[in-house]
């Protein structure tokens, strides 16, 4: 069986992540996974441009990632940029930087900006690969820094049934609405109104009432699950495919919204790069949970450590 050593890079609004893996027969064997908070989308919602210091943080992380790729003998590279890069006027500077860095690994490699629908499909493919198809249809939610993808499909189908990318995410929502520490009741209500408006269109496009299982991916989802499961430190192996009842999940979301950033930072599973924005993510989760419980009778969340990054890697096989 042919084996290809690949590197997948997911550059989002809040974090940049790397997966180096061997791809064969439609499956992945992980060699290295890493995530760094670079906040590429800092201020994008307000200014429409990448901030120079955000570009520099991203470049420094990508230089390190390229070195790891060379050390592992990577044969193919795919780097995708999502919500933040779709919105900016100065993205040429970003592309020039990625071409220079990735070109040291594979000549001609460069980041690509994918559409919301492409992001949704890659996230779905990565998330459901290890799930029992009998538990489907699945609604997969990828809650990022700048956007949230809602995707419906089955594990045994090559295509998703429906998907939508909503311009709400933990960074975008925090910058737009949640300015106080902790956020005021008025700020939270304003954020809820933004989320409900965005989800109204998502839920019109995606018939979530057909879903049997809710799968959540990305750092906000997995961190909320770790807190709901009362973990003292973040344990990715224990988190992967964990099931969390909404009666455990929703109180955690509510508690985070009344905590100061200092109090959030003291929580064992909390990554320092999520401290200031996880309240925005919690609001998105609350509103999604209410909609899925009402429309599909779903009472629990399954969280997956495998997501768009795995989908990117599989696309290289």
**Position 159 confidence tier, pLDDT thresholds 50, 70, 90:** confident
Q: Is residue 137 part of a domain?
A: yes
Q: Quick check: 82 pLDDT over 90?
A: no
* Residues 92 and 144 placed together within one structural domain of the fold: no
Looking at the fold, whether 154 and 239 belong to one and the same domain comes out as: yes
How confident is the model at residue 281, as a pLDDT? 96
Domain that includes residue 214, residue range: 130-308
245 within domain boundaries: yes
Which CATH number fits the domain that encloses residue 53? 3.30.420.40
Residue 25 has pLDDT above 60, yes or no: yes
Per-residue model confidence as pLDDT tens digits over 212-228: 999 999 899 999 999 99
pLDDT > 80? residue 151:
yes
- What pLDDT is attached to residue 5? 95
What's the CATH code of the domain at 141?
3.30.420.150
pLDDT over 60 (residue 255)? yes
**In terms of domains, do 166 and 274 share one?**
yes
| Tens-digit pLDDT profile for residues 170-201 | 999 999 999 999 999 999 999 999 999 999 99
pTM: 0.85
At residue 79, what are phi and psi to the nearest 5 degrees?
A: -120, 125
Query: What pLDDT score does 160 carry?
Result: 87
One domain for residues 245 and 192: yes
């Amino acid at each position: 069986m042919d084996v290809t050593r690949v590197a997948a890079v997911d550059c989002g609004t809040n974090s940049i992540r790397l997966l180096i893996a061997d791809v064969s027969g439609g499956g992945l064997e992980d060699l290295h996974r890493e995530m760094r908070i670079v906040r590429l989308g800092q201020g994008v919602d307000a200014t429409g441009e990448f901030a120079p210091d955000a570009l520099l943080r991203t470049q420094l992380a990508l230089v390190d990632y390229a070195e790891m790729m060379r050390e592992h003998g990577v044969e193919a590279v795919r780097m995708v940029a999502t919500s933040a890069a779709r919105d900016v006027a100065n993205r040429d500077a970003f592309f020039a930087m990625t071409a220079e860095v990735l070109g040291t690994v594979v000549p001609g490699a460069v980041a690509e900006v994918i559409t919301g629908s492409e992001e949704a499909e890659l996230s779905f493919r990565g998330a459901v690969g290890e799930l029992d198809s009998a538990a489907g249809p699945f609604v997969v939610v990828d809650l990022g820094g700048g956007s949230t993808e809602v995707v419906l499909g089955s594990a045994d189908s090559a295509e998703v049934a429906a998907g939508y990318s909503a311009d709400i995410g933990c960074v975008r929502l925090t910058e737009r609405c949640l300015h106080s520490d902790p956020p005021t009741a008025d700020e939270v209500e304003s954020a809820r109104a933004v989320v409900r408006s965005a989800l109204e269109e998502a839920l019109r496009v995606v018939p979530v009432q057909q879903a049997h299982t809710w799968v959540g991916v990305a750092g906000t989802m997995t961190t909320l699950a770790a807190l709901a499961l009362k973990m003292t430190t973040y344990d990715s192996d224990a988190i992967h495919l964990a099931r969390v009842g909404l009666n455990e999940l929703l109180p955690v979301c509510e508690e985070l919204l009344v905590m100061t950033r200092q109090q959030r930072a003291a929580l064992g599973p909390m990554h320092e790069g999520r401290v200031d924005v996880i309240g925005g993510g919690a609001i998105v989760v609350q509103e999604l949970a209410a909609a899925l419980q009402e429309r599909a009778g779903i009472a629990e969340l399954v969280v997956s450590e495998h997501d768009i990054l795995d989908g990117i890697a599989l696309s290289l096989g």
